[in-house]
Chain A
Amino acid sequence: MTALALPARTRQPAWRQLLGFNVLTGIVLAIIGWLIGYWLGGRFVNIPSLQYYTVGTGPGQNDISVFLGYLLGVIGFLAGLGFFNYPIKRMLGHPPSLAEHESAGEGWIRYFTLCTEHKVVAMQYLVGIGVFFFIGGINAMLIRTELLQPNVHVFGANQYLTLVGMHGSMMMGMMTSGVLGPFANWVVPLMIGSRRMAFPRIESFTFWLLMAAGVVLMTTVFFGGFQTGWTGYEPLGDQGTAGFDAYIAFFTLVGISMCLLGLNVVVTIATMRAPGMTWSRLPIFVWACFATGVLMMLAAPMLAAALLLAALDRTVQTAFYIPGNGGSSYLWENLFWVFGHPEVYIVALPGFGIVLELAPVFCRKPLWGYRLAVAGMLGVGLFSFFVWQHHLFVSGMNADLRPFFMLSTELISLPTGFIFVCMMGTMWRGRINYAVPWLFCMAWAFNFLWGGISGVFLSDAPSDVTTHGSFFSMAHFHYTIMGGLIFAVFAAIYYWGPKMTGFKFNERLAKIHFWTLFVFFNTTFAPLFALGFLGMPRRVVTYPANLQGLNDWVSASAYCILGSMCVFLVNLIWSMVIKREPAEDNPWNSKSPEFQLPTPVPDYDYEKLPVFDDDPYPYGVEVAPAAATAGQGA
C-alpha cells in the first residue's frame, strides 16, 4: 500500500503511447458522449410519462439535450482518461490501491494522463490553469477594447456581456484552484513529509475535471453566450439561452473539483504529517492551505446545489427562482453568496500563506507572530461564512440584519490585519533580500492594503449605497484578487518555479515583469475607484461621454498589463525552451524542507521519511539586543 514502487515500464514508441487512456482518448470520447447525450435529450421530450417535466421545453431550445450532452461529454472525457478503470475494479472486489502512472519511466505522456504523482498533478495544474488565466486575461483586454469609446461598439451587446461573464467565471472558477492546485499539491506533501496527497486519484480527478469545466465554459459561445456575469443572478439566468447551461455546467464541475481538492488538502494535512510535524510546527503556507481547504470543502457544495436548482429550473420546469410561481430571486442571491463570500477568501487566503511563507526566507528572520498568523487565517475562514449579506445591503432582503452584517464584515478585517502585522513584524530588523519573489510579496502588501481599505467603504451600509454595483466595487475586488492573489501566485512561481520545473528564470526579464505589472496594475485599477465614485455601474456596455478620458486611460493601462504578462511569457519560453539553465537546489537559501531536496525532486521525494524537530523557520541568530542591529552599517 505505498504510493510508490511501481516498476518502470519499458519505453514505447511515441505513437504507441498515444493509444490508451490519455487525454486524446478523453477528447474523442467526450465528443462521442456529447453527441449521444444531445441526441438522448431530444428523445426524452417525447416520453409521455415525463410530460410533467418536459412540458415547457420550448421550440428551438432543448436544455435537457444540452445538459445531457455536457454530462455524457464529461463522463466520456473522464472515461477516456481512465478514471473509471479503478472504480470498476473496486466493483469487482479488487482491493484499494493508490498509484497510477507514477513512474518517471513513463516520460512525458504521464502529464497527459491520470497520474497520481503529486508533483506531476501540480505541474498539470500550473500549466492548465495558466492557459485559462491567459484566456480570461484576453477576455479582459477585449472588455477594455469595447470600453474605449462610450457609445461605439466593437462587439455587440450580447457578446460584450458574454465577455464579461467569461472573464469573471474563468477567473473566479479556474483561478480559485490557482494556489491549491499547483502549489499546495506540490509543496504541502514535501513540507509535511508525506510524499503524496491523501487521495492521489482524487487529486488527479480534480485537475481533469477543472480542465473539462474550462472547455465547457468556452463552448457557451456556440449557444449564444450568457448575459449574467459570473454571479449568474436569477431569474435572469433562467431566461437565458442555452449558453447559460454552459455556465451552470462549468460552475458545477468547478464546485465539485474545488470541494474535492479542498478535502484532499485538508485530509492530507490532518492525517499525513511525518513524525515530529506537530500542528504548531506546520509551515504557515500549510496552515493557509488548510484554512482554504476547509472553506472549499464546505462552501463549494452550496454553489453546486444552487446551480443544480438553476439547472432544474431550466430543464424539468421547477420554479426555485421564479417569483410568482413559488420561487424567489433572493434564494439564488442567498445560496450563491453563502458560497460566494467564502469563495472570495478561498482566493485570498492562499496569498496570505505565500507571502508569510516567503517573508522569513527573504527577511532572514523567523516568522513574527506565528500563532497570530494562524489565528488570522482560521479567523478569516470562520468569519467568511457570516458576512455574505453585505453583497445584498440594498437588495431589500433582511434589511434589519444590515447592522449585524456590517459588524461581521468589518470584524473580518481583524484577522486580515493579523496577516499584515505578522508581515510587518517579520520585516522589522530583518535583512531583506529583494529577490523577485519578495518584490511580488511587497507589492501584494501594497495592493491588498488598498483592497482592504476600499472594502471599508463597501462594508459600511450607508456608503455602500453609492459604491455597491459600481466600478468602485469592481476595483476593490480586483485589488484583492488580482493585486492580492495574482501577485502572490507570481511570487510563488518565481520562488518555487525553479524547484518545480528544474530551470531558472531570467532574472532581468523577471524584474521587468514585476515592475511593469506593479505599476500598470495600479494605474489600471486605481482610476476605477474614481469611475465608481463618479457613478459608473459595473458591466455596462456604454457609459456617459464625460467618463471617456478615464476609461481610455484604464484601457491603455490594461493593454500595458497584457504587455507585462507577455514579458512573463517570453521569459518562460526563453528560460524553458531557448536557453535552459538548470536551477540550483536551493537558490534562496531557504530552510524549508522542499529546498533541501535535489532539483529536480525525485519521484519518491524522500527516501526516508523526514523527522521534524524544530519550528519551520529556524532563521536568525540569537544575539543580545544591543548587537542585533550591528551590521546595519552607516
Chain B
Amino acid sequence: MEGAASAHRELEIEPEPSHWQPRATWAGVRGFTGGAAFFLVSFVFAYFYLKAQDPNSDWKIGKVQPGIGLGVAILVSLLVSAAALRIAVQRPESTVRSGGVALALAFLAAVLQVIQWTTLGFGPASGGYASVYVGWTIAYTVFVLGCCYWIETQVATAWRRGRDAAARAQVSDELVHEGLKACSFFWNFIVFNGLVLFVLLYALR
C-alpha cells in the first residue's frame, strides 16, 4: 500500500550540493596525475635500471643520437603551450585564444615527435637507450595527444559559452573553470614530464 502511495506522490528530489562536482574534478585530476606519474616513472626507472645494469655493454649499439634540434623544438613548444594554458586559467575570458595557442603548440609537439621518429637514424633495437627512447616517447606522445583532446574540449566549451547564452546557463561557471584548471594542472604535469624526458634522453643521454 505504501509503495502504491509513494508511486503517485510527486517526488521532490533534493539536488546534490553544487560544490560536489567541482571538488570531484579537482580531486579526480590529482588522483589521475598520481596514476600517470606511476605510469611515466616506470620509464625513468627503465632508463636508469638498464643504463646501470647493462651486462653486455649494449646501452648504445652504434651511433645512437636523436636530433637535438627537434628535441629542443619539442620541448619549447611544450613549455610555451603549458604557459599559454596557464594564462587561460588566470584570465578565463581569454580561454579561446590562449587555449587555442596551447592546443596548437601541443599538437605541434606531437607532430615534431613523429618527424623525429622517422628521421632518427637508429632503430629501437640499437640497445637499451634506443629502446627507452622509443618506448618513452611513444608513451609520452600518447599522453600529449590525449591532452590535446582535453585542451580542445576546454577551448570548444569556452567558445560555445561565449556565443550561446543557453549553453552558458546549463552549467555553472565554477564547474567550467574547475574543468579548465584541472586540464591545465594535468597538462603542466605532462609538460614537466617532457622536461624530465628531455633532460634524460637528450641532455644527459
Pick the interface stretch among B69-77, B85-93, B171-179, B186-194.
B171-179
Nearest chain-B residue to A195 (Cβ)?
A: B16
Pick the interface stretch among B105-113, B151-159, B197-205.
B151-159
Contact residue among B17, B42, B55, B158 (Cβ-Cβ distance under 8 Å from A305): B42
Known: A92-B160, A319-B128. A300 touches B123 (CB 8 A): no
Give the number of A-B contacts (CB < 8 Å): 208
Specify which chain A residues have a CB less than 8 angstroms from the CB of B43 in the assembled complex: 305
Asked if A318 contacts B124 (CB within 8 A), the reply is: yes
Expressed in whole angstroms, the Cα–Cα distance for A434 and B28 within the complex equals 41
Expressed in whole angstroms, the Cα–Cα distance for A253 and B123 within the complex equals 28
Nearest chain-A residue to B57 (Cβ)?
A: A326
Asked if B135 contacts A263 (CB within 8 A), the reply is: no
Residue A90 interfacial (CB < 8 Å): yes
A58-97 interface code vs B (CB 8 A; 1 in, 0 out) = 0000000000000000000000000000010011111111
Which residues 1-55 in B have Cβ within 8 Å of A in the complex? 3, 11-18, 20-21, 23-24, 26-28, 31-32, 34-36, 38-40, 42-43, 45-46, 49-50, 53-55
Asked if A305 contacts B125 (CB within 8 A), the reply is: no
Contact residue among A93, A309, A312, A327 (Cβ-Cβ distance under 8 Å from B160): A93
Residue A447 interfacial (CB < 8 Å): no
Contact residue among A94, A195, A297, A312 (Cβ-Cβ distance under 8 Å from B34): A297
Specify which chain A residues have a CB less than 8 angstroms from the CB of B58 in the assembled complex: 324-326
Q: Would you give the shortest CB distance from A586 to chain B, in whole angstroms?
A: 15
Tally of chain A residues near chain B (CB < 8 A)? 68
Asked if B45 contacts A319 (CB within 8 A), the reply is: no
A325-359 interface code vs B (CB 8 A; 1 in, 0 out) = 11110110011000000000000000000000000
Nearest chain-B residue to A259 (Cβ)?
A: B35
Asked if B56 contacts A52 (CB within 8 A), the reply is: no
Nearest chain-B residue to A328 (Cβ)?
A: B53
Specify which chain B residues have a CB less than 8 angstroms from the CB of A604 in the assembled complex: 11, 13
Residue B185 interfacial (CB < 8 Å): no
Expressed in whole angstroms, the Cα–Cα distance for A328 and B34 within the complex equals 27
Known: A93-B156, A271-B24. A299 touches B38 (CB 8 A): yes
Residue A194 interfacial (CB < 8 Å): yes
Residue B196 interfacial (CB < 8 Å): no
Contact residue among A93, A97, A263, A304 (Cβ-Cβ distance under 8 Å from B32): A263
Residue B138 interfacial (CB < 8 Å): yes
Known: A1-B21, A324-B58, A331-B50. A302 touches B31 (CB 8 A): no
Q: Would you give the shortest CB distance from B136 to chain A, in whole angstroms?
A: 10
Known: A2-B16, A4-B13, A92-B156. A267 touches B138 (CB 8 A): no
Residue B101 interfacial (CB < 8 Å): no
Residue A598 interfacial (CB < 8 Å): yes
Residue A301 interfacial (CB < 8 Å): yes
Residue A508 interfacial (CB < 8 Å): no
Contact residue among B17, B59, B123 (Cβ-Cβ distance under 8 Å from A53): B123
A120-156 interface code vs B (CB 8 A; 1 in, 0 out) = 0000000000000000000000000000000000000
Residue B127 interfacial (CB < 8 Å): yes
